A and B are shown apart, each in its own frame.
Chain A
Amino acid sequence: MDTPISGSVYVAPSLSTALDALHEGGSAAAPFAGGTWIMRAPIRHEQLKSRYVAIGKIPELHTIKVDADAVEIGAAVTHAALATALAELGEFDVLTAAAGHSANPAIRTMATIGGNLATTAFAAADCVPALLCLDAEVEIASRDDRERTSLEQFLTMRSTLAPGRLLHRIIVPRRDRKTVHARLPLRRAGDYPTAIVSLAMILDDAGLVETARIAVGSVEPVARRWGRLETALIGHPLNAAKAAEAAAELADEFAGRDAADVPGWYRVRVLPGLVRRAVAALGS
């Protein structure tokens, strides 16, 4: 029996007890959300932490609040719950698809949005590019304070997040935009995406692109916005073939990551096709 040995799992009933336990545990402790990444540590030849603070039963971390200006998502909301809650809000199609089509049905009822954003070593996370193109912000909580920062900034600091802190919620501004999530798994049945293009566009009255947000996931170790492609599309009508042409010209800025499933060059090679698919899905 290949059993990981570890110390304890504390099931926190509230945010404050979780933050106290994380504070007291220091660097020996970590949040345990859906566990779909943590429980696979032995396969990655990684050590488990000696203390886990389970945050999945904290009601406050399960809420999704839809206001006129923003949607706030608790960090322990599962992929399945998120996809159901946002299904009727067209401006969030990108996030509904990211949460509703990742992994497989059982995993979607376990894996949380907070775990998806916080997992430093997981390049293929679907919700990261989806939330990048929606200009999401995150709130980090510790026993003594709350800190709000852009998701982009969080991605640069998540690996060194001080002990005792956790991702509390995600805040996504509401805008009249068209959005889409295009992902390419090797097989549709539950594989990781080899590359992801998440897109959010605002069109002006003449149907020209006024603002463009394009995020690329799974290609490099950390998802990021594709600024040069965004600039190339602004001021033009949505056109899938032209967008794919522009993407093909600019794709060499990506250094694809090699992994067991596909080599790095392949991830870059499929980007123009994913851009074409994404723009076409917006009705161009």
Chain B
Amino acid sequence: MGLSMTINGDHLTSTADPVTPLVDVLREDFHLTGAKPVCREGFCGACMVLIDGNPTPSCLIPAALAQGCDIRTVEGLAANGRLNPIQAALEACDAVQCGMCFPGMVVSLTHLLTTRPEATRDDIRAALTGNICRCTGYERIIEAALLALATP
């Protein structure tokens, strides 16, 4: 029996083993390769997706428990092909370096922007404690988040 999931609004099915980490199903079965399995431990945030609106490392969610949830990956965050406010701000601030951490950064910051419009620099730093940027591009990422928060 397959696993059925709702991903970026699409209903998809997978024949993966129930305990397969969601990140592998996203990438291998559905070819949504934005989420990256980097540490597979919940430390780096490169595999972050929104599950029922909450940033969640998809390396730690078994596919079986993702059934019945609203899953949003970075591929689903630019509605009608238009960058969302944090994506636009990251581009404007030239924040991307190698890009490995970016899908996760976008997911965590999209959540912060929609739930905490009054967030401060410290709040942004705290929200990103589970997103590691190996290129250490944090300052520009935080500047971009502040810009997005300040843009009406």
Q: Is the CB of B24 within 8 A of A1?
A: yes
- Contact string against B for A residues 35-47, beta-carbon threshold 8 Å, 1 for contact and 0 otherwise: 1100110110000
Q: How many angstroms from the CA of A7 to the CA of B132 in the assembled complex?
A: 33
Q: Is the CB of A8 within 8 A of B18?
A: yes
Closest to A111 in B: B42
Q: How many angstroms from the CA of A110 to the CA of B54 in the assembled complex?
A: 10
For the side of the interface on B, what is the size category? 20 to 34
Q: Which of A6, A39, A56 contacts B60 (CB 8 A)?
A: A39
For the side of the interface on A, what is the size category? 20 to 34
- Contacts A9-B65, A106-B42, A189-B129 given: A39-B54 contact, CB under 8 Å? no
Q: Is the CB of A109 within 8 A of B43?
A: no
- Contact string against B for A residues 14-57, beta-carbon threshold 8 Å, 1 for contact and 0 otherwise: 00000000000000000010011001101100001000101010
- Contact string against A for B residues 124-138, beta-carbon threshold 8 Å, 1 for contact and 0 otherwise: 001101101000000
- Contacts A190-B129, A190-B130 given: A40-B19 contact, CB under 8 Å? no
Q: Is the CB of B130 within 8 A of A3?
A: no
Least Cβ distance of B65 to chain A in Å? 6
Q: Is B94 an interface residue (CB 8 A)?
A: no
Q: How many angstroms from the CA of A123 to the CA of B48 in the assembled complex?
A: 26
Q: Is the CB of A105 within 8 A of B126?
A: yes
Residues of A within 8 A of B45 (CB): 104, 106
Least Cβ distance of B95 to chain A in Å? 18
Q: How many angstroms from the CA of A56 to the CA of B51 in the assembled complex?
A: 15
Q: Is the CB of B56 within 8 A of A2?
A: no
Q: How many angstroms from the CA of A5 to the CA of B17 in the assembled complex?
A: 7
Residues of B within 8 A of A5 (CB): 17, 19
Least Cβ distance of A79 to chain B in Å? 13
Q: Is B35 an interface residue (CB 8 A)?
A: no
Q: Is B57 an interface residue (CB 8 A)?
A: yes
Q: Is the CB of A104 within 8 A of B18?
A: no
Q: Is the CB of B56 within 8 A of A9?
A: no
Q: Is the CB of B21 within 8 A of A106?
A: no
Q: How many angstroms from the CA of A107 to the CA of B62 in the assembled complex?
A: 15
Residues of A within 8 A of B61 (CB): 35, 39
Q: Which of A4, A11, A54, A103 contacts B42 (CB 8 A)?
A: A103
Within 1-56 of B, Cβ neighbours of A (below 8 Å) are at 16-21, 24, 28, 40-43, 45, 48, 54-56
Least Cβ distance of A186 to chain B in Å? 12
Residues of B within 8 A of A107 (CB): 42, 57, 60, 130
Known: A9-B19, A40-B41, A104-B129. 20 other contacts (CB 8 A): A3-B24, A4-B17, A5-B17, A5-B19, A8-B18, A9-B64, A11-B65, A39-B21, A39-B62, A40-B40, A40-B42, A48-B19, A52-B62, A54-B65, A56-B65, A103-B130, A105-B126, A105-B129, A106-B48, A106-B54
A-B residue pairs in contact (CB < 8 Å), sample of 7 = A3-B21, A32-B62, A39-B61, A54-B64, A106-B54, A188-B129, A190-B43
